[in-house]
Structures are given as C-alpha cells and as structure tokens.
Structure 1
Amino acid sequence: MRPRTIRRDAPAVPAGSGVSFIMPVLNERDYLPRAVESTLAQEVDGPIELILALAPSTDGTTELAHRMAGADPRITLVDNPAADIPVGLNLAIRASRYPTIVRVDAHSELSPGYTMQALDTLDRTRAANVGGIMHAEGHSPFQRAAAAAYNSRIGLGGGAYHGGRQEAEAESAYLGVMRRTVLEEVGLFDETIRRGEDWELNLRIRRAGYRVMFDPELAVTYRPRENWPRLARQFLATGRWRGELVRRYGSRNSLRFFAPPALVGTFAAALVVAVLRGTRALTGAAAAIAGLVFVPVAAYATVVAAFAAARRGAGCGERAWILAVVPTMHLAWGAGFLAGLARGASDTVDTSRLDGRNTPLP
C-alpha cells in the first residue's frame, strides 16, 4: 500500500511579480513568429520575458530568432545543442528570472487572456501547475484532418485537455503555467525523458503533495504536423516513450494508454487469421471462432468512417485524410508503445521536425 501523500498548497506569489515564458525551438521558421507574437501580447500584471531555447535548426529558425530578439529586449536566447525538449526547457528555466513559468510550444499560439486566467486559477486553487485546452487547427486538408482527430476523443482518447469542460484536479497539464519554487523543489524536467516529460514532471509534483489543475477556460491553438510521414514519426516516437514510462512507473500510468497497443494486437491477430483462412490452414469451427477477431476491427473501421462522414464543413480531401490519420495515430502510437515496453526508448528521438522543411502558412 502506497503511503498517503500530504496535501500542500503551492507558495503564493505577490501580484506584479512577473512571468517568464519558456519555449524550446527546433525548425519552426513558419510557426515561430505567431507563437512569439501571441506570447508577447499576453497582458500580465508585472514584467514578462520570453526565453527561447534554440536547438540546431536547418530551416533558418535560428537566424529568425536572433532578429526577433534584436528587435525586442523581452526575448532572451539560450543554446540547446542537445536538441532535446526537456534539456531546452531546463536551460530556459535556469535563464529566466520570474516566479511563474509559462511553457509555450513553438507550434502553438496562446489565446488572449490565457496567462491572466491561469494566474487567477493558480492563486485561487493554490495549485503548482495549471493547464487548459489544446485546440488543434490546421490549414491544409491533411492538417485539418489531423486537427479534427486531435480535438476528438476518437482521436486522442480521454485526456481532459482534448475536450474537458469542468475545472478539476488533473493527472497532467498541457504545456502548463507553473510556480518556480515547486519546479525547483521537485528538480525541474527529467532530461532522460525525451517525450512525455510533462506527464512525468506532473507526477513528481503530485507525489510532492501539490495540485495540478485543469482549467477549461484556458485555450492554446496547436498546429499539427504538416504531412503523413511527419505525423507517423511523431506518434511512433511518442508511443515508444509512453512504453518507457510504463516500464519506469507501471500502474501510475492511466489505463487509456493501453488502448492503442491493444488495437495493434487486434489488427495483428486479424491479419494472422486472414492469412490462415486464406491458405486454408484454418478451417471449420476453428476458423469460425477465430473469425470473431474481425468484429472489433469492423467496429473500429465503422467508427472511424462515421467520424469522417460526420465532420461538418469538411471537404472530400479532409474526410479522406481522416480515414488515414486516425488509424495512423492509433497504430503508430500503439506500435511505438509495444517497442518501448519491450526495449525501452532511451535511443528514440522524434524526427518529425528534424528535416526543417515546413509547409509555409498562408
């Protein structure tokens, strides 16, 4: 039996103390201006700063970041030669000055009022971290299809930040607005975890007795990957790191993380049965019983097709991409999970942004 955790309030922060925004950046030339603009436009009672942790980009992102920093003294640059997200986050935190840390993704845009709402929730609940809705939006038919999957429980399951409506304590927080004192107490981000680092950090925050809150009034616009290979690589790497986290933390992982690998197992079993029946190595009653494995596969295909058909305002291209995107998310993530569970993920890198060839925004 686990020892009972003593509940603790995060230390209060005086009004006007300032906010530090931190943003790891790699090959984000087409998205960085909007991410920075939405961040620096945040209204805060006190000073703000934005720390960009620059990984070695190949698309002109570094040069763009230097121009932006030269034009606005609120922007500070730090080098992140390792290119790992948790390393960059820690470098940015250590280079920052203020008692509240706001994590921002270079592939995202903060909504107006985001930071003030988060500060209010932190003050009111005395939580150590608060996050909100991850609202995906896209421009091309593919990206809109991916966004539709991100925003639906069919695509990414039951995480509160994909559609929760009630303020509540949470397992983790998307991005997060965090109290520096608590971050320093629990040891910042674990630099051995390349994906899922936010979940692991929030696990340590909760183990220390602090609250992690979900606030549906907070919204961040997220831009999914621009094409199918990038999306597949992203989900494969993310799934593999979840398998690694299950190896490390076992039952502390939610049961919903096991749905995609179960789907992979079901599809694999259906493929084996189809081959055996096709070659007549499996016949009669045994073939009929084994054929029951096709029922969940058919049900899954029906749900995905219905989701695509019900997408309001979607064109034919977007609907067609949904039919490919949703299974890609699930199967790539599930296959990665099984690989991570079997062999770990210490050598796994998300390569979906490494080539630096983004699709320009309109």
Structure 2
Amino acid sequence: MPFVSVVVPCWNEADFIEGFLDAVQEFDYPADRLEVLVVDGMSDDGTRDVLQKRDAVRLIDNPGRSKPVALNLGIREAKGDIIVRLDVHADYPPDYLAKCVRGLLDHPDADNVGGVRRSEARDDNLIGRAIALSTTDAFGAGNTRYRIGAAEPQWVDTVFGGCYRREVFDRIGYFDEALTRAQDREFNQRLRAAGGKILLLPDITCTYYARSGYREFCGWMFEGGYWPFRASRAVGRWIGSWRNVVPLGFVLAASGGLALSPFSRAARRLTFTLLGTYGAAAAYSGARLARRHRDPRLLAAMPLIFATTHVVYGVGSVWGILDPAGRRRS
C-alpha cells in the first residue's frame, strides 16, 4: 500500500479532537504506511494538550491560524505519496482511509477522490437537527453530490476533504493562502482546468457535525455565499457553480420586486408569485423531511432554515460582489 499522509488543519477543537483522533487511530490502514500531521493554530482551549499526548500525531504550529496556510504547511511536511485532508468536525469509519486510497489506485485517471458527507447536529435540538438536514437535502444544498449523495461513482467539481495524489501539488501548486474560505473550491477548479479529474465514490462516507446554533448558522451561510464571489474576484476567474448563483438571483429578484411593488401592479403580482412559489416549495420540502424522519416539528423548522439558508447566502453573495476588499490581485 502507498504511504499516506493525513493533513488536518485545527484550531480550538477541544470538543471534537479526542473523538477525531480515536477515529483516526481505528483506521484499518497499515499503521507503518501512515502518518498524521495536525497543523494547529496555537489552540488555547486544551486542544494542544490532547495532541501532545498522542504519539502517533505529528504536531505542526500554525501561528496565523489560516486554514490554507495550515494545509500548505502540512503538505510540504508530508512524506506520503498520497495526501488526505481530514476535518476535525467529522467522524470517520475504520475503512474510510483505505477506501479513499483504493479509489485512487482503481481509477488511475482520478487526481482527487472523495465520498458522501452525512450531517448530524452538534447539539440535539430542533434547530440543530433542521440545520443538519438542510445541508443534505437538494432544496437546501442544490446538486452538491458530496452532500446529497449519489447512486453510483461520478465525476464532480468538488468533494469533501479530498484524497489527492502527491504529484497534483507538484503540478499545479498549493492552496491559495489569500482565501480564508473557498480555498478548496479554488484548488479543485484549478485542478480541473489543468485537466485533472475529481471522483466521488458513494461507498466512501463520513459524518459531519453541522453547526446547531441559529446565529452561528447565519454567519456560516453568509460566509458561504460571500466567498465564491469574493474569491472569484480575487483570482480573476469564476470558481463557483450555478448553484452558487441561484440564492443571489432569488434575493435580487425578491428585493427588486418588493421595492417596485408600491408603484407597479405587475411587480406586485410577480413578487407575490415568486414568494408564494418559494414558500410552497419550502413547505413541501419541510413536510417531506418531517414525514421521512417522523418528526412533525420539522414542518415549522425546515421552512425557516431553508429561507435563512437562501436569503442569508444570497445577501452574502451580494457583499462578495461589492466588497472593495475583493478586488483582483495584481
């Protein structure tokens, strides 16, 4: 089996680091063909104490706390022929790593392999559960295959985490350190533009613990809408997908219609139709999930979370387009 380097960006993960390291320790990949590099942003919540007690973990300091810098530090220090990026906020089955590596070996034309990311709430409450469900439902997540799943292997534009051949980084470079978020999206777009391929294998699965607080979720959605547009402006090319544009179009259409409604009957009708159709779709999707999960409370919670997702994401996209800080780098 090829030697594998697991690279993990980390900062203040005291609530998750023990469980994550236990999951990594249970990987059924040969221990003598594996190294784990945790690049920590100088955590001050006890995370480093846990890391320093684990002999199987190589701790690398990342004083600036930047995620792309952490990834690049880990990759440069890695000894493996294959680089696997893992997230502390996820739980991985014992065969996760072996399946990723086998996916690369069985598909020589693939440069990056990943699987399906299931979501669970970090906190067991109604809003947390609704948030987790919204990130894996097509109405909330669009056609992002690593979120909503797939019936068979398929070529995609991005995957969660990623299992890369080492030569990919020698060929196209590293993660863009100017991008606080969307650095993986930009990298995978650059990989595909250079002729590389990204493969999603549905039998590779992990569980991600989604944000459960409503305020935290709003900030997460705003950043999610902001960065595809901000990053595209910074690098001088579009790195997103059509699914990133849909919430922007909805927010602009609804805002424009509401602004014109006092002066135009046609605007009122169109706006009423738009919002009514959206409300019906959100209610239908919420009812479908409530029935599937046998929780009638989701009838009220899901439309709220869906509306928050699309509106806040769309507002973030507007600011990503307008923010002066997003000017293209010279």
What TM-score do you get using the length of structure 1 for normalisation?
0.82
Q: 1:85 aligns with which of 64, 67, 79?
A: 67
- State the superposition RMSD in angstroms: 2.1
Aligned to 1:179: 165
2:280 to 284, 291, 302: 302
SS in 2 for 1:27: coil
Instruction: Give the 5 Å matches for 1:283-362.
Output: 286-311=264-289, 312-343=292-323
Q: Residue by residue, what CA displacement relative to the aligned partner does 1:140-165 show, whole Å, maximum 9, x if unpaired? A: 32221111101111111111112222
**Residue 60, structure 1, aligned to residue 46, structure 2:** yes
Q: Aligned partners of 2:282, 2:29: CA distance in 1, in Å?
A: 43
Corresponding residue for residue 240 of structure 1: 226
Question: What's the CA shift for 1:47?
Answer: 2.1
Matched, 1:256 2:238: no
Q: Distance in 1 between matches of 2:248 and 2:158?
A: 21
Q: Per-residue CA shift, 1:76-112, capped at 9, x if unaligned? A: 1111121121111111222222111111111111223
Q: Hey, what does 2:57 align to over in structure 1? A: 75
More displaced stretch, 208-217 vs 337-346: 337-346
TM-score normalised by the chain length of structure 2: 0.89
Matched, 1:130 2:130: no
Give the corresponding residue for 2:126.
141
| Whole-angstrom distance in 2 between the partners of 1:252 and 1:31 | 31
Identity %: 27
The answer on whether the counterparts of 1:273 and 1:291 sit within 8 Å (CA) in structure 2 is no
Q: Which runs of 5 or more structure 1 residues have no equivalent in the other structure?
A: 1-14, 277-281, 348-362
**1:24 and 2:9 are equivalent in the alignment:** yes
Residue 265 of structure 1 aligns with which residue? 252
Moved more, 226-235 or 162-171: 162-171
Conserved in 1, the CA contact under 8 Å of 2:23 and 2:92?
yes
Q: Is contact 2:154-2:200 (8 Å) kept?
A: yes
Structure 1 stretch displaced more, 338-347 or 253-262: 338-347
Per-residue deviation, residues 215-241 of structure 1 (Å, max 9, x unmatched): 111112111112011111112112111
Alpha-carbon separation, structure 2, partners of 1:59 and 1:299: 46
State the secondary structure of the residue aligned to 2:210: coil
Which segment is superposed worse, 312-321 or 322-331?
A: 312-321
1:100-139 aligned within 5 A:
100-126=82-108, 127-138=110-121, 139=124
Q: How far apart are residue 270 of structure 1 and its match?
A: 3.8
3-state DSSP of counterpart to 1:173: coil
When residues 294 and 56 of structure 1 are mapped into structure 2, their CA distance, relative to the original with a 3 A threshold, is farther
Q: Secondary structure at the match of 1:59?
A: coil
Letter matched to residue 155 of structure 2: E
CA deviations over 1:116-160 (Å, ceiling 9, x no partner): 111111011111111111111123322211111011111111111
Give distance in 1, aligned partners of 2:267 and 2:300. 33
| 1:164 and 2:144 matched | no
* Partner in structure 1 of residue 136 of structure 2: 151
Aligned residue pairs: how many?
A: 319
The SS at the match of 1:204 is helix
- Decide whether the 8 Å contact of 1:244 with 1:344 is kept in 2: no
Aligned to 1:356: none
Name the aligned partner's letter for residue 76 of structure 1: R
Distance in 1 (alpha carbons) for counterparts of 2:269 and 2:63: 52
User: Which one-letter code corresponds to 2:15 in the other structure?
Assistant: D
> Quick one: which amino acid aligns to residue 60 of structure 2?
V
The amino acid of 1:212's aligned partner reads I
Q: Which has the higher contact order (CA 8 A, sep 6+)?
A: 1
Contact 2:157 2:198 (8 Å CA) reproduced: yes
Q: For residue 320 of structure 1, report the CA deviation from its aligned partner.
A: 3.2
Distance apart, 1:290 and its partner CA: 3.6
